[in-house]
């Protein structure tokens, strides 16, 4: 059954470049636009080499104006293109928030389905790379609250390529969030050919019976580490889930897992108040209340801006905090 697939070892950021190149080769209507994405190859080199291959008519350096980038992309998308807009950091998206909020997300319903906005907004995000203020914000919850936008967050190179291709093919706007900490943290075998990872489907990274760990983005590595250590230290076996898409959320995977384990720990680096973790708690409450053996725990960033880099590590959830929460649910 298995046909030999040619793979190459890529970092996540290389897989993202590869996804865009793959789609641009296949479809003339796929464009890239953003600040310094052309000659410079993007602040994180994610668009490196694309201008050389596809020219400056398809890889467009824009002025420093996020609102303009998104507004232009919306217009292009409504007129037959498939733009990929790059925000240098998710924390810089606020000037474009109005465009996303009032236009991108609701063109489909406003035109009763006559027009859609098949665009992707790529944005690096998250703390842990010693970036200055604003650059490290993890504000995914602002966008999961907005009907009409899908929010996708890969945690590794393989998923990144498959999810980005699926996002470019998606007829609706997708916010594609790239955890900076994962850009070059590890390499994976990534198929050279085109493939997709379905939007809205999470992944189970490890099977376990005792407690369900749920995270996305950079926190996936944290829960994997916590799961490994807690098994060695306490013999607790964790079901480890990477949500991969925050909106729409993988209802089936989460409820199937917590109904098996009866316990859940949700980990995200955004502040707890108003965080997406609360939506996971609600989902579990709606689908699996009677299966719960203990209250659901959340391990999150604190309700403060991401602090300066000297104390950044105190802000971010780490394996110890996660292990502590796991034992609290076990010993409840």
Residues that bind another protein (CB under 8 A): 262, 289-294, 332
103, 114, 135, 186: the active-site residue: 135
For the question of residue 135 being annotated catalytic, the response is: yes
Mapped onto helix, strand or coil, the DSSP state of residue 329 is helix
Beta carbon of residue 282, minimum distance to another protein (angstroms, whole number): 15
Contact 252, 200 (CB under 8 A): no
Rounded to 10 deg, the angle between the 251-261 and 276-288 helix axes is 70
Nearer to another protein, 108 or 297 (CB): 297
Residue 332 Cβ vs another protein, minimum distance, rounded to whole Å: 7
Closer CB to another protein, 251 or 291, in the complex: 291
Beta-carbon contacts of 57 under 8 Å, excluding residues fewer than 6 positions away, are none
Half-sphere exposure of residue 111, counting CA atoms within 13 Å on the CB side? 12
How many CB atoms are closer than 10 A to CB 184? Answer: 15
* CB of 254 closer than 8 Å to CB of 292: no
Rounded to an integer, what distance in angstroms lies between the CA atom of residue 330 and that of residue 264?
Answer: 10
Please state the three-class secondary structure of 124-176 as a single string.
EECCCCCCCCCCCCCCHHHHHCCCCCEEECCCCHHHHHHHHHHHHHCCCCEEE
332: helix, strand or coil: coil
Nearer to another protein, 246 or 264 (CB): 264
Closest distance of CB 266 from another protein, Å: 17
Residue 292 Cβ vs another protein, minimum distance, rounded to whole Å: 5
Minimum distance between the CB of residue 288 and another protein, rounded to whole angstroms? Answer: 9
- C-alpha closest to that of 174 among 11, 19, 27: 19
In the complex with another protein, the residue whose CB is nearer, 228 or 237, is: 237
For another protein, which is the closer residue by CB, 184 or 293?
Answer: 293
Q: Looking at the annotation, which residues are catalytic?
A: 135
């Amino acid at each position: 059954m298995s046909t030999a697939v040619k793979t190459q070892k890529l970092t996540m950021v290389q897989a993202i470049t590869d996804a865009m190149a793959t789609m641009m080769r296949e479809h003339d209507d796929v464009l890239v636009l953003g600040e310094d994405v052309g000659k410079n190859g993007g602040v994180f080199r994610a668009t490196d080499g694309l201008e050389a291959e596809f020219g400056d008519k398809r890889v467009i350096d824009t002025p420093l104006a996020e609102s303009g980038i998104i507004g232009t992309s919306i217009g292009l998308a409504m007129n037959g293109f498939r733009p990929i807009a790059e925000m240098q950091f998710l924390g810089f998206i606020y000037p474009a928030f109005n465009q996303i909020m009032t236009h991108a997300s609701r063109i489909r319903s406003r035109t009763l389905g006559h027009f859609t906005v098949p665009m992707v907004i790529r944005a690096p995000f998250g703390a842990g790379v010693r970036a200055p203020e604003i650059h490290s914000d993890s504000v995914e919850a602002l966008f999961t609250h907005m009907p009409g936008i899908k929010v996708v967050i890969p945690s590794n190179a393989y998923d990144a390529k498959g999810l980005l291709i699926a996002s470019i093919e998606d007829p609706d706007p997708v916010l594609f969030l790239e955890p900076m900490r994962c850009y070059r943290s590890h390499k994976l075998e990534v198929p050279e050919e085109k493939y997709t990872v379905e939007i809205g489907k999470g992944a189970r990274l490890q099977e376990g019976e005792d407690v369900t760990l749920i995270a996305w983005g950079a926190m996936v590595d944290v829960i994997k580490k916590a799961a490994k250590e807690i098994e060695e230290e306490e013999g607790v076996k964790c079901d480890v889930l990477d949500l991969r898409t925050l909106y729409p959320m993988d209802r089936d995977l989460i409820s199937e897992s917590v109904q098996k384990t009866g316990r859940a720990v949700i980990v995200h680096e955004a502040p707890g108040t108003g965080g997406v973790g609360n939506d996971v708690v609600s989902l579990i409450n709606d689908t699996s209340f009677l299966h719960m053996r203990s209250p659901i725990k959340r391990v999150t960033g604190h309700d403060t801006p991401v602090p300066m880099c000297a104390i950044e590590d105190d802000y971010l959830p780490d394996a110890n905090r996660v292990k502590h929460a796991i034992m609290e649910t076990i010993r409840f």
